Amino acid sequence: MPSSHPLPSSCHWFSVLAAALDPRSAPRLAWLLVGAVLARGRRTVTTWIRSAGLSDEYRPCYTTVAALGGRTDRAASHLLREVVRPLAAEARRLTLALDDTPTERYGATVQGAGVHHNPTPGPAGGPFVYGHVWVVLGLLARHPSWGIVALPLLARLYVRRKDLPGIPARTRPGFRTKLELAVELVRWAASWLGHLGKPLWVVADGAYAKAPVLKPLRELGVTVVSRLRKDSALWSVPGPRAPHQRGPNRTYGDQRIELAKRAGQTRGWATGTFDLYGKPTEKKYKTFVATWRPAGGAIRVVLVDEPTGWVAFFCTDTAAPVGDILGSVASRFSLEIAFRDLKEVVGAGQQQVRLVRANVGAFHVCLWALTMTEAWAWNRDAKALAGHRAASPWDDGERRPSHADKRRAWRRELLRNEIQAVLRPGINEAELQVAAERLLDLAA
């Protein structure tokens, strides 16, 4: 059974998220979230169960993970309200990052798994990966010392149309493209963040810079920043209406704009210093307003002269400053860092569950464990979070704490709390032995 002593105050987040489930399952989910933070080695669901002390209830635990897979939107709203939103309270606008990432899986009976493009094959990896693909939405928050940190909120499982027949009809989701899933995620976020009265921006990978995403988000009043293809069919801004001209105002101009010609022209370039990747960076750029049919109207285009050649970005807010556009593009990299930590540190994709809802629930447990760890460490001293480096003089003690450092520090607090509870006055030898065995299991 799980420990009976009170957890640290930050752990009330686990109960807040668990409130999305039926009251009979909520306590079990709260302890599974504790187990996901404490887990070491291969982070399967059984490892969470053992770390949480729920081994006698392992069957209901698997049922709880699957139940969470059907309530992720509701649980994520609790996470956004209680955990994430306070970290961005001082921001003048709210910036969301959108991208997809695969998790490798093995076995033909894993529902929803298929062959997908591998975005990070590495030296020995192949161009394709078998497993799941998740479209993930995260909030980008600026830490006063660590810069931009991505806080993942919610994800959607993308299943190829050809892989859907492998899922039983009663649990089979309808087919939706990644672009449709992306719009669905942003609609969810806008419904919870819109009442704050702050501008809402979305910075996305270039694969999402397409009409099925840009036009619905424009209707929502959401500003989109992304990369622009070099062969994009841009048009000029339409001029003023002629006197007595009938009909609606024109949306697109009649002069074609070719990005390659604009980039090749020597006039119009400017140089500015912008805050990119946590430090002042000088960039040579050119900016102008054009119209683009996939965006449904006018966009601001920014061309940047890089050592490897020019690149193009765009923003659907034509009044946006160049520094804000380039800063948003640079900040999206923090979501890629979150994906790396999600797989390598938290262990997403290792859970060894088969049903589609169980996979969705298990992935979100990992997703929210990462976000809550970042939130727990937000206002703590960086040196205290990386205190273990004193035993490693070859390490750089001045670098900012990694997610692994923050996770380790939170685990130490949880275990310290458990040890202090064991050392209370009046404890008998049998209770001390049980606690010692549990701590040894967690440590070894």
pLDDT digit string, tens, across residues 165-203: 999 999 899 999 999 999 999 999 999 998 888 999 999
Q: Are strands 94-104 and 200-204 parallel, antiparallel or unpaired?
A: parallel
Give the per-residue pLDDT at 6. Answer: 45
* 361-370 per-position pLDDT tens digit: 999 999 999 9
Structure letter (DSSP) for residue 295? G
Query: Is the pLDDT confidence value at 141 over 90?
Result: yes
Give the per-residue pLDDT at 159. Answer: 95
Q: What is the mean pLDDT of residues 295-302?
A: 95
Give the per-residue pLDDT at 397. Answer: 64
Give the per-residue pLDDT at 5. Answer: 43
Query: Is the pLDDT confidence value at 9 over 60?
Result: no
Q: Which of 96, 178, 190, 80 is nearest to 135 (CA)?
A: 178
Query: Is the pLDDT confidence value at 391 over 80?
Result: no
Question: pLDDT category, 389, cuts 50, 70, 90?
Answer: low
Unique residue bearing structure tokens 């698997």: 62
Give the per-residue pLDDT at 291. Answer: 96
Q: Are strands 128-143 and 94-104 parallel, antiparallel or unpaired?
A: antiparallel
Query: Is the pLDDT confidence value at 93 over 50?
Result: yes
Give the per-residue pLDDT at 426. Answer: 67
Domain boundaries, the chain: 9-205+335-377, 226-320
Out of 143-157, 248-262, 381-395, the most confident range is 143-157
Give the per-residue pLDDT at 423. Answer: 67
* 258-280 per-position pLDDT tens digit: 999 999 999 999 999 999 988 89
- From CA 189, how far away is CA 108, in angstroms rounded? 34
Give the per-residue pLDDT at 194. Answer: 84
Q: Is the dihedral of CA 434, 439, 442, 444 positive or negative?
A: negative
Question: Is the pLDDT higher at 128 or at 367?
Answer: 367
Structure tokens at 255: 């002069």
Question: Is the pLDDT higher at 265 or at 126?
Answer: 265
Query: Is the pLDDT confidence value at 372 over 70?
Result: yes
Question: pLDDT category, 28, cuts 50, 70, 90?
Answer: very high
Query: Is the pLDDT confidence value at 248 over 50?
Result: yes
Give the per-residue pLDDT at 98. Answer: 96
Q: Which of 336, 117, 293, 315 is nearest to 228 (CA)?
A: 315
Give the per-residue pLDDT at 204. Answer: 95
Q: What is the mean pLDDT of the chain?
A: 88
Question: pLDDT category, 107, cuts 50, 70, 90?
Answer: confident
Q: Rg of the chain over CA atoms, in angstroms? A: 25
